[in-house]
Amino acid sequence: MKSIVIQKPREIILSEKEIPKPGPREMLIKVMASGICGTDIHIYKGEYLGSYPVIPGHEFSGVIEAIGKEVTRFGVGDRVAIEPNIACDNCINCLNNRQNYCLNWQAVGVTLPGGMEQYVSVPEKAAFSIGELPFEQGAFVEPLSCVIHGVERAKIRLSDCVLILGAGPIGNLILQTARLQGAAQIAVLESNPGRAELARRQSADLVVDRLEDLKPATYDVVIDATGAIPVMNRTMDFVRNGGTILLFGVPPAGKNIELEAFRIFQKELTILSSYTSVRNSFQAVNLLLTGQVKVAPLISHRLPLEEISNAFDLIENHDPKVMKVMILPNG
Ligand SMILES: [Zn+2]
Ligand SMILES: [Zn+2]
């Protein structure tokens, strides 16, 4: 089978290897759609502390090809999406329902072989049935799970005014879930015209391309989906007194943001971050299956495994047409 390997930063190869055999509690997945995420780009650029080589891909779906002896929930031919974070279920954080901080954390596509190959073995507990959901949409279960975790942490209330900074794939999913949470007014900051237009079609009330076009101190909840320090520094200007700032986008490591401590006090702000997800995959599958969250319009490119370097270049160079890039390892 064909497999993508990041040997070391900026060195990708397409390798041929044996199809793996699943262990007793594992399942062999024929990967049908595998989304490229910002994390894959970080691994590719070497902005990631783990060890190489890595087979990337943690946002994917496929068909079960074979199951281990002790697998009970699934059978061959079942269609599944993967929740890549594998918690040990036995450390102090797991035992306290905080699996996203598992002390023995492993992740498919980060520390374990991922979905940028034709077949991959994953633990049974990492798989979620997707029914008849198209595979490309199933590949959104992971990013949508993370967004659900973040939006639930932000506690958006009925009739809230929400500002979302950035409308890439993640900002767009935040927009859709914030609407479902009952936000009455949603404004979006996005300078890429294609992404701005999509946000408008996905129900944004106001889309602006400059912060100067937004009214200060207006929003109950301000959510950063850019991870850009200069944008994060401005969040406090737009949040209302008593409001909430959710820092969702992944910022560069080692950089500080500047938020005036007195204003945090005076505005009585809640400032939150959000780190991966905690068992939000069932919610994500349900929202996708029922069409409450629509992800088909977010897919801008469909490419074979062989094109992965080009796909990374497109994303890294901020090609204006890029939204979500899907790799289709089995055509
Ligand atoms: Zn991701
Ligand atoms: Zn643990």
CA of residue 182 to ligand 1 center, whole Å: 26
CA of residue 266 to ligand 1 center, whole Å: 36
pLDDT tens digits along 283-318: 999 999 999 999 999 999 999 999 999 999 999 898
CA of residue 77 to ligand 2 center, whole Å: 31
83 neighbors 282 (Cβ within 8 angstroms) = no
* DSSP-derived secondary structure letter, 52: S
Q: Could you tell me which residues are beta bridge partners of residue 273?
A: 247
Q: Which residues contact 54 (CB under 8 A, 6 or more apart)?
A: 5, 6, 43, 109, 110, 114
- Distance of alpha carbon 82 from alpha carbon 117, whole angstroms: 14
For the CA of 107, the nearest ligand: 1
For the CA of 56, the nearest ligand: 1
For the CA of 90, the nearest ligand: 2
Give residue 203's pLDDT.
93
CA of residue 85 to ligand 2 center, whole Å: 11
Give residue 50's pLDDT.
73
For the CA of 99, the nearest ligand: 2
For the CA of 324, the nearest ligand: 1
CA distances from 92 to 84, 87, 164, 218, 279 (A): 20, 11, 34, 40, 17
CA of residue 41 to ligand 2 center, whole Å: 26
For the CA of 142, the nearest ligand: 1
223 neighbors 248 (Cβ within 8 angstroms) = yes
CA of residue 91 to ligand 2 center, whole Å: 4
Map tokens 């914030």 to a residue. Answer: 178
CA of residue 266 to ligand 2 center, whole Å: 38
CA of residue 92 to ligand 2 center, whole Å: 7
The dihedral formed by the CA atoms of 281, 79, 140 and 156, expressed in degrees to the nearest 10:
-30
For the CA of 106, the nearest ligand: 2
63 neighbors 77 (Cβ within 8 angstroms) = yes
The answer to whether the predicted template modeling score (pTM) of the entire model surpasses 0.75 is: yes
* 3-state class (DSSP) for residue 240: strand
Give residue 49's pLDDT.
66
Tell me which residues of the chain have a pLDDT lower than 70.
Answer: 49
- Distance of alpha carbon 137 from alpha carbon 97, whole angstroms: 28
Closest listed residue to residue 305, CA positions, set 57, 127, 84: 57
CA of residue 99 to ligand 2 center, whole Å: 6
- Distance of alpha carbon 180 from alpha carbon 171, whole angstroms: 14
Give residue 24's pLDDT.
98
- Distance of alpha carbon 27 from alpha carbon 127, whole angstroms: 9
CA of residue 81 to ligand 1 center, whole Å: 13
Give residue 318's pLDDT.
87
